[in-house]
Amino acid sequence: MKLYRPQDYSPVDHQDTVSTGLATPLRGAEQVFVARQSTRAHGTGPLHRHNLEEVTILLEGEAHVQVGEETVSMQKGDVLIVPPNTLHQMRSAGGPIEYLIVSRAGATHSLADGDVRTPPWTK
């Protein structure tokens, strides 16, 4: 068993979003990945995809999410399941947003141009 407290984390600020890996391989999570993300008011994350399913849980605010060819609106408490290999992008509907990202450990992170990256909060 491993217990982590807020002071144990190192948030990563990138573009309009701050990401914090909560349950990651380096923290001992072998089968699941969980991150908390905060996007600034009017902020937008990168258009990207993963090889595995991703679940987004909106904790605060309102968001618009492009998923493939569709755009859906999310409100506090909503849960969105993004299928594998589907381009998606989170953006604030005006104010700041807070959300959890949940996936299986080992998911790849590919930008729309095909560039595969391993964001530091996923390690």
User: Which value, in Å, is the radius of gyration of the alpha carbons in the chain?
Assistant: 14
The pLDDT of residue 121 is above 80: no
Is residue 7 in some structural domain?
Answer: no
Is residue 4 in some structural domain?
Answer: no
Distance of CA 6 to the CA centre of its chain: 18
Q: Which domain holds residue 92?
A: 16-112
DSSP symbols for 9-47: ---EEETTEEEEEEE-GGGT-SSEEEEEEEE-TT-BPPP
What is the tens place of the pLDDT at every residue in 24-59?
A: 998 999 999 999 999 999 999 999 999 999 999 999
Is residue 87 in some structural domain?
Answer: yes
Report residue 18's pLDDT band, with 50, 70 and 90 as the boundaries.
very high
Percent of the chain with pLDDT over 70: 100
* 109, 72 contact by CB (below 8 A): no
Is residue 50 in some structural domain?
Answer: yes
Q: Which residues pair with 102 in a beta bridge?
A: 34, 55
The pLDDT of residue 117 is above 90: no
Is residue 117 in some structural domain?
Answer: no
Q: Which CATH number does the domain housing residue 34 bear?
A: 2.60.120.10
Task: Give dist(CA 76, CA 108) in Å, integer.
Answer: 27
Task: Give dist(CA 77, CA 109) in Å, integer.
Answer: 25
Is residue 122 in some structural domain?
Answer: no
- How high is the pLDDT of residue 21? 94
- How high is the pLDDT of residue 85? 96
pTM: 0.93
Is residue 6 in some structural domain?
Answer: no
Q: How many domains does the chain have?
A: 1
Task: Give dist(CA 87, CA 17) in Å, integer.
Answer: 18
Report residue 5's pLDDT band, with 50, 70 and 90 as the boundaries.
very high
Task: Give dist(CA 29, CA 17) in Å, integer.
Answer: 23
Is residue 22 in some structural domain?
Answer: yes
